[in-house]
């Protein structure tokens, strides 16, 4: 078994690269340990809490005890299925802010500024505003990835945006267009009522070509001969086999598994590899370091009217929604229910948004547990650019053993201040007139919790990961000792090996990471093919009074 390019991981970036490299006429083999994504639990958008909690589709990782969160071990899901995490995520589509990518370029990822990445976001999208407005000049029309908006029929969706306006914030018609900052509609990777994962968008069309093949197996290590990656050793059907790469090996195995694979292959911090008896091929101190994520809180309100999704929180109603979706691909099953959003700045002097909101017309947790209060609604809120950094390290030299994942969440004093700000700003939004007809009382944190100390205790107990891990194979300049890949995504110190997925992000982007991960695959494919889309001249909106005003 051999191909020009061997890609490890059929996730968001891997599927995009398989599509573009095979489109250019190269032979491609994609290695994926997980199985099929067929079936309603993955394909039905409203069922999103199921696949994320199923060992069939999820690697089942969890963090080491997090000392600043009371020693809690948090779940750290990653998709173990074709489509990767795009097959088990919440389907929220966010490009990120222009300032994020300009920061990447400033920190050494030359050629990854907003002007450089915007053409790739446009190329990958097939954007449909469904007559809901939006910013068509900034969007793609005919890419593989369909991006849509929910119907926003529940009055709470417009109440959230109107409350933001009443509180003095901007309203934006398209946070993926010129202006991210403000309150407005949320976008989702859903097409004709189905989850539009990277598998549906990119991998299925690629596999229809004769030059693209999917191989099921566990990647054990990259084979490196005389400083060059020549193939991948996999375990499949109980035997160990080798897949040869005529040109390059590309790792796209997630922020957890990409650094793990590099280390198992002898690329990483030499002292750490020596602990596990792994021969050092390239001593790269940054492999597995620089781990980032978004944490969030669910601010929950009890509703004074029975208009929330809680009325469907029973077997009969779920069965009817499921049946309507199965036969018609319509109804409540056809949306992830995240249909209003906001991006705001925490204080004056912050140039672009550093807080994100997802609004949901039910009070429920990611694991599907509804609030005891019954009818309610919630805003997921959290800071976007925490300075806390963690690491992914080996737990063993056995490829079947999970890596050790330690985020070191809330390790900076600023994290606590930022989260308290999030809670207080959210309470202010929910206190606006637009919510007066709908609010009964605050469920969580609860009106009794007001002091810094009370809020800190709540944060330590209730902060949850938004499942946006990234940064563990940082991209930058070759002379930076913590950098793992150069701006062409080439692993420094080894020929014929690249990494392209969320692990190469120098710093976490604003919002959900699926869009930026797919863009990374799209752009990396062009780097591999030796071509580049021309940079964009479009200038993003920045609040004119950002230096002196918070809103």
Question: What is the Cα–Cα distance from 99 to 14, expressed in whole angstroms?
Answer: 25
Residue 493: phi and psi, rounded to 5, are 100, -5
- Among 6, 469, 522, which residue's Cα sits nearest to residue 254? 469
Residue 353 to residues 95, 383, 541, 551: CA-CA distances in angstroms?
13, 9, 11, 10
- Among 359, 379, 381, 386, which residue's Cα sits nearest to residue 293? 386
Element (H, E) at 166: helix 155-166
Neighbours of 495 (CB within 10 A): 14
The β-bridge relationship of strands 182-185 and 267-268 is: unpaired
Question: What is the Cα–Cα distance from 501 to 487, expressed in whole angstroms?
Answer: 13
**Collapsed DSSP state (helix, strand, coil) of residue 349:** coil
Taking the mean position of all CA atoms in its chain, how far away is CA 98?
Answer: 17
Decide if 468 is catalytic.
yes
Residue 86: phi and psi, rounded to 5, are -70, -10
Output DSSP code: residue 354: -
Region at 70 (left for phi over 0; alpha for psi -120 to 50; beta for the rest): left
Task: Tell me the torsion sign for CA atoms 179, 183, 187, 193.
Answer: negative
Given the residues 68, 146, 375, 468, select the one marked as catalytic: 468
Tell me if 527 sits within 8 A of 497, measured CB to CB.
no
Token readout for 458 is 């709540």
Neighbours of 326 (CB within 10 A): 12
Q: Which are the catalytic amino acids?
A: 468
């Amino acid at each position: 078994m051999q191909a020009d390019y061997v890609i490890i991981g059929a996730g968001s970036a891997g599927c995009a690269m398989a599509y573009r490299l095979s489109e250019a006429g190269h032979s491609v083999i994609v290695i994926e340990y997980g199985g099929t994504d067929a079936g309603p639990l993955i394909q039905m958008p409203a069922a999103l809490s199921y696949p994320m909690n199923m060992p069939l589709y999820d690697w089942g990782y969890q963090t080491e005890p997090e000392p600043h969160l009371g020693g809690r071990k948090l779940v750290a899901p990653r998709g173990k299925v074709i489509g990767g995490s795009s097959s088990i995520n919440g389907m929220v589509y966010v490009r990120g802010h222009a300032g994020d990518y300009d920061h990447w370029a400033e920190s050494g990822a030359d050629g990854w500024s907003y002007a450089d990445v915007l053409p790739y976001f446009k190329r990958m999208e097939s954007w449909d505003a469904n007559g809901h407005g939006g910013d068509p000049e900034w969007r793609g029309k005919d890419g593989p990835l369909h991006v849509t908006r929910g119907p926003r029929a529940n009055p709470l969706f417009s109440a959230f945006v109107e409350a933001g306006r009443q509180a003095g914030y901007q309203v934006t018609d398209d946070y993926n267009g010129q202006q991210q900052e403000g309150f407005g509609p949320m976008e989702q990777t859903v097409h004709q009522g189905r989850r539009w994962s990277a598998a549906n968008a990119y991998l299925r069309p690629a596999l229809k070509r004769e030059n693209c093949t999917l191989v099921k197996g566990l990647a054990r290590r990259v084979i490196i001969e005389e400083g060059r990656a020549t193939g991948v050793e996999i375990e499949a059907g109980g035997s160990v086999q080798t897949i040869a790469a005529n040109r390059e090996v590309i790792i796209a195995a997630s922020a957890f598994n990409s650094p793990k694979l590099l280390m198992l292959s002898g690329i990483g911090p030499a002292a750490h590899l020596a602990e596990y008896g792994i021969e050092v091929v390239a001593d790269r101190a940054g492999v597995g370091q620089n781990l980032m994520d978004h944490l969030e809180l669910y601010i929950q309100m009890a509703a004074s009217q029975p208009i929330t999704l809680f009325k469907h929180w029973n077997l009969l109603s779920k069965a009817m929604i499921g049946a309507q979706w199965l036969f018609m691909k319509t109804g409540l099953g056809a949306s992830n229910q995240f249909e209003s959003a906001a991006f705001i700045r925490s204080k004056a002097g912050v140039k672009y948004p550093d807080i994100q909101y997802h609004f949901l017309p039910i009070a429920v947790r990611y694991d599907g547990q509804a609030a005891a209060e019954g009818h309610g609604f919630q805003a997921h809120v959290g800071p976007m650019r925490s300075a806390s950094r963690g690491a992914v390290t080996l737990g063993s030299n056995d490829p079947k053993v999970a890596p050790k994942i330690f985020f070191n969440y809330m390790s900076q004093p600023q994290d606590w201040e930022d989260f308290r700000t999030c809670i207080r700003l959210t309470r202010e939004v929910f206190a606006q007139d637009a919510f007066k007809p709908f609010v009964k009382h605050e469920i969580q944190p609860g009106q009794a919790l007001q002091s810094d100390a009370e809020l800190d205790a709540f944060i330590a107990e209730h902060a949850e990961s938004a499942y946006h891990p990234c940064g563990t194979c940082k991209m930058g300049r070759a002379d930076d000792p913590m950098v793992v890949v150069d701006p062409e995504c080439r692993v420094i110190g080894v020929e014929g090996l690249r990494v392209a997925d969320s692990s190469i992000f120098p710093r976490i982007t604003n919002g959900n990471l699926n869009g930026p991960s797919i863009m990374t695959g799209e752009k990396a494919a062009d780097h591999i093919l030796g071509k580049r889309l021309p940079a964009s001249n479009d200038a993003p909106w920045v609040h004119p009074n950002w230096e002196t005003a918070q809103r």
